[in-house]
Chain A
Amino acid sequence: MSTGTLTHDDDAAARPRWRGPIGFARARFGAWLQGRLPRTDTLLLTQGNVYILPTRAGLAFGITLVVLLLASINYQLNLGYVLTFLLAGSGAVTMYVTHATLRGLTLHLKPLVPVFAGDAAILNVVLTSPGSARFGVGLKVADADIATLSYVDVPAGGQAPAQISFVPRRRGVHALPALSTETRFPLGLFRTWAVWRPASELLVYPRPERPAAPLPQARPVPGGPTQMRSSDGGEVEGVRGYRRGDPLKLIAWKKAAKALETGGELVSRDTSASAHQELWLDWQACGTLATEDRLSRLAAWVLGADRVGSDYGLRLPGRTIEPDSGEAQRRRCLEALALWR
């Protein structure tokens, strides 16, 4: 399997570079064709949806054949005829072979994982070949540059995973861009391709603010339990960011490792802070920022609060999420931010 290391920018795709009226007409025609395709998460490539055309190399091959044929005629070389016709026959046969490389394949899109706007969304596609092995099958976003093709070989009667990545720019729920799969195997004389519009929709969280603004102050819960816990040795109540001078035994290593992995800082056990404080991430606390920037800041705060591991709640105009912690809370908050309007 192979991973597409190059990502595709969907803004660039949204603005195709037209060259003259013909380019415009082609782009419109392409868009119309794509619009006709049904959306599905599992696509069986058949005679009906796989297209084939000769490549530029294929045309050059044709010219080579004409030159060889002329030489054979003029020098009356029977072996020249044999060579020319062998190449012509092989070339013609690759039209079938190239088409058969895609035909019969099943493309299946695995469940999508939400991403942040501006980050690469990875689409995991599984290719299944019921029959023979398929070589050099490339996948990419349909409008993307050919260099972004990520290639995969599918074993006979087996499956192969492939990954396509693209970068969503805006938050919200997005339909996936049309994907395309193509191959030029075996001789590169023909290019056969299919366009696929997956049905799944991608949830895109707001782009988190970078660098993140400091988290707002947590406030004690009015009316909550008030007794203090012993500051050393007792149960652990919470964690806070590492402060210079914290003893090593105070560092929450497991959490710290996780936090470091996601780009955070060391985390110390907070034996003095209490679980009775809660952190509210408030729309109103973002000052005078524009809507999207507020959402970005809130997203960054959600990530920050989640990293520190404290309980946090989210207040948006018209929606409030009660304080909680953990993966579910994080997802709930980010989803709310992604879908807020």
Chain B
Amino acid sequence: MALTLSPFAPWPGWRYLPREARDTLFLLGVIGWTVLPHMLHLPVWCTLLTVVVLLWRARLALSNQALPGRWVLVAVLIVAAALTFWSFRTLLGKEPGVTLAVVLMALKTLELRARRDAFVIFFLGFFLVLTHFLYSQTLLVATAMLVAVWGLLTALVLAHMPVGQPSLRIASRLALRTALYGAPIMALLFVLFPRIGPLWGVPRDGISATGLSNSMTMGSVAEVAADDSVALRVRFDGPVPAPESLYFRGPVLSRFDGIEWRPATPGFDFARGQAWASSANLRVSGAPLGYEMTLEPLRLATVPLLEAAAGAPAIEGYRINGRDDLQWVADRPLLERVRFHAEAYPSFSYGPTQRTLRLADQLALPSGYNPRTLEWAAALRRDPRYANADARALAQALLRHIRTGGYSYTLAAGEYGRDAIDEFWLDRKAGFCEHFAAAFVVVMRALDVPARVVTGYQGADPLPVDGYYVVRQSSAHAWAEYWQPGIGWVRADPTAAVAPERISRTRRLAPPPGLVAGTLGTLNPELLAQFRAGWEAVNNRWNQWVLNYSRGQQLDLLKTLGVQSPSWEDLTLLLIGALSALALGGAAWAWWDRHRVDPWTRQMDRLREALRSLGIDAAVPDTPRALAARLRERYGTNAQGLAALLDALERQRYSRASTPRPDAGLTRRFVGLARRLRATAAV
């Protein structure tokens, strides 16, 4: 491409650009802004291609050159499709789809020949805005995308102002006005549009999965620990329990193949009835602790309830079943943020009191793995001190060993090899919760005590935000349970033995702060903390009222509106009713508007009537000035007042300083004067 504009030509100034070039540059800017957040998760080639194409198009607009031929675009598109396939091994799915949409958007700008041909750009732009929400729905993303939508609407308005060179400010104000007018309809639809489940399939790749999972390999929790995003929020009805007693029970892992821990093959889910109660054998004491939980989409069926829940919480749209290992499992993974109320009994015991067949599963150890640990356990067994020790004594001994044996807690545990437990328990003695829990369980099993790993969340941010205690992904934890005859399953947290502060002080791994936060943190840590708390509060509101708004809240709303047993059909009816009322209101207004008489015309009608009573021939096309002349001619100075009023009306209506509405006082004075004049004329 030959560029006529020298790259060093001075920038003419935004205001002095030709209209076409300015509009194009503005649209390119908006597109750039819309695509920008995608740069984080797009392949590098896509980012580069988009930037190059947008800059090229800007260059063409500035130098007012012809756009490239269609075959160039087709060639680039084919290359882009090939690169997409090379990057993802498929053209279907979220990531390849977004990549292709971004490329299409960029290439379409090279086909942007006229202002009015730009609709494809706009619609593709709106679609791209939506794709951002697949990755994140935070307040920040929402704000950025609101700006993007504003920009797109402004460009659209600009395309429909064909006269002259309308300023960007006017166009953006008109776009904003349109959006503001549309906001009430948006609110109505948002509140009342029935939330229904996915129409087809379950989107597996909606939000990248972080946090707990249904399996545990060494190192998996470490990734989670670095993730500072929110997992759930809790608001307690009553007094707040100590953070070290907050154990949110997630997947229970009892099958160990030497590498990976997995949940036991689920026998079957018990309904919330007698079957579950007898099988879990939960025995609680004391008063329950009520709390409200807002759970982020963990993409996991297990609901991490506070230990121990005696009944299934009611979560709109899901069926929650209890299992005998005290897990509460939904009938499908939780893919949306849910809010519900639940109860926990802090003091409880559960599980069979007598040895059962199922307990044998909790003793299995893979053969050929971790021989030295098994040897170490056998040595302990042979120790006369523990000859008659029960499970509890053995657990105490192990915890004591962990406390005194030179173990240390670190998140930077590094890579472990095949016999990871051997390596950890006997050689390196450094690790974090999953290492401690796994090693504890392996040793207990080697000591012939049924034991298993429990994953979940432990603790919460020390200070509540807006009454909510925040539990982050970094609070993900793994602990152990062993079986004690006569009592049942007993929790043991070996991590607490080596790093008790890990349990009591729950914010452990602060993420590396950003530049601004870092500076602020050094200058004024209190301000940073305040700022952070405020931000969290806003964010929480956002989550509670916008992102968390679901069918449950919709039905609650119906209940407050007085519907006895609301269903989504009622919701649909209400929505249709509201929209119909809106449309009817519009139609009624249109009808009224049609029969409306211009206020100026109405005023003139009244004046003419008064004039006719004085014998003045006042026809429709006569101006006030002409009527005044006629009055003076007929009545002379007697009509001076009336004529002056007519002259004033002429000025009000037609002069440079005209008023927007007729002066009602003038009409009154005129009619009064006319009546007096008629009376005097009659005498």
Contact = CB atoms under 8 A, between A and B. Distances in A.
Partners in one complex: yes
Interface string A89-101: 1111110110000
Contacts of B594: 46-48
Contacts of A186: 156-157, 160, 174-175, 178
Interface string B95-129: 00000000000000000000010010001001101
Contacts of A64: 123, 126-127
A152 B166 CA distance: 12
Interface stretch (B179-187, B230-238, B412-420, B505-513): B179-187
Nearest to A157: B660
The residue in A60, A70, A136 that gathers the most chain B C-beta atoms within 10 A of its C-beta is A136
B160 A184 contact: yes
Give the interface centre of A82, A87, A96 by most chain B CB atoms within 10 Å: A82
A46 B592 CA distance: 11
Given A79-B547, A83-B145, A88 B174 contact: no
B96 to A, nearest CB: 16
B18 interface: no
Interface in A52-74: 57, 60-61, 64, 67-68, 70-74
A241 interface: no
A78 B130 contact: no
A47 B161 contact: no
B44 interface: no
A70 B127 CA distance: 12
B336 A76 contact: yes
Contact of B181 (A79, A82, A90, A131): A90
B127 A68 contact: yes
Interface in B198-216: 198-201, 203, 206
B199 A74 contact: yes
Contacts of B182: 86-93
A188 B178 contact: no
- Mostly helix, strand, loop or mixed at chain B's interface? helix
A196 interface: no
Given A47-B590, A79-B546, A80-B133, A87 B126 contact: yes
Interface in B609-665: 658, 660
A10 interface: no
Contacts of B184: 89
**Residue picked from A67, A92, A186, most chain B C-beta under 10 Å:** A186
A60 B117 CA distance: 13
A242 interface: no
A325 to B, nearest CB: 37
B164 interface: yes
A94 B185 CA distance: 12
A151 B198 contact: no
Given A135-B161, A186-B157, A85 B185 contact: yes
A131 B174 CA distance: 16
Contacts of B149: 83, 86-87
**Residue picked from A64, A72, A83, A185, most chain B C-beta under 10 Å:** A83
A76 B183 contact: no
Contact of B123 (A60, A75, A77, A135): A60
B196 interface: yes
B193 interface: yes
Given A77-B137, A79-B547, A89 B189 contact: yes
Contact of A75 (B156, B166, B203, B590): B203
B185 A79 contact: no
Contacts of A293: none
B546 A78 contact: yes
Given A76-B335, A96-B586, A82 B206 contact: no
Interface string A176-191: 0000000011111000
A32 B381 CA distance: 106
Among A79, A157, A184, chain B packs the most CB atoms within 10 A around the CB of A79
Interface in B513-534: none
Contact of A78 (B126, B137, B187): B137
A159 to B, nearest CB: 12
Nearest to B337: A78
A47 B592 CA distance: 9
Interface in A73-131: 73-94, 96-97, 103, 130-131
Interface in B138-189: 141-142, 145, 149, 153, 156-157, 159-164, 166, 174-175, 178-179, 181-187, 189
Interface residues of B, number: 62
A80 B130 contact: yes
A67 to B, nearest CB: 7
B133 A61 contact: no
Nearest to B116: A188
A292 interface: no
B190 interface: yes
Contacts of B126: 64, 68, 83, 87
B240 interface: no
Contacts of B199: 70, 73-74
A71 B182 CA distance: 21
Contacts, number: 162
B348 interface: no
A237 interface: no
B206 A188 contact: no
Interface in A314-334: none
Contacts of B574: none
Contacts of B129: 83
Nearest to A1: B163
B134 interface: yes
B189 A76 contact: no
Nearest to A137: B163
A153 interface: yes
A68 B153 CA distance: 16
A291 interface: no
A135 B590 contact: no
B125 to A, nearest CB: 10
A89 B183 contact: yes
A202 B658 CA distance: 34
B593 interface: yes
Contact of A88 (B156, B189, B195, B590): B189
Nearest to B194: A73
Contacts of B335: 76
B611 to A, nearest CB: 23
Interface in A23-50: 44, 46-48
A76 B166 contact: no
A231 interface: no
B345 interface: no
B369 interface: no
B143 to A, nearest CB: 11
B318 interface: no
A21 to B, nearest CB: 31
B549 interface: yes
Nearest to B164: A153
B190 A47 contact: no
B147 to A, nearest CB: 13
Identify which of A2, A47, A91 gathers the most chain B CB atoms within 10 Å of its CB.
A47
Contacts of B156: 186-188
A218 to B, nearest CB: 48
Interface in A151-209: 151-153, 157, 184-188
A341 B104 CA distance: 65
B418 to A, nearest CB: 40
A83 B159 contact: no
Contacts of A74: 198-201, 203
Contacts of B159: 188
A68 B123 CA distance: 10
Given A47-B593, A76-B206, 9 more contacts: A44-B598, A76-B336, A85-B190, A92-B185, A131-B660, A135-B163, A135-B174, A153-B161, A157-B660
13 contacts: A74-B199, A74-B203, A76-B336, A78-B546, A78-B549, A80-B133, A82-B142, A85-B189, A85-B193, A90-B153, A131-B660, A135-B163, A186-B175
| 8 nearest CB pairs, A to B | A89-B182, A89-B185, A90-B182, A47-B594, A85-B189, A93-B181, A85-B186, A89-B186
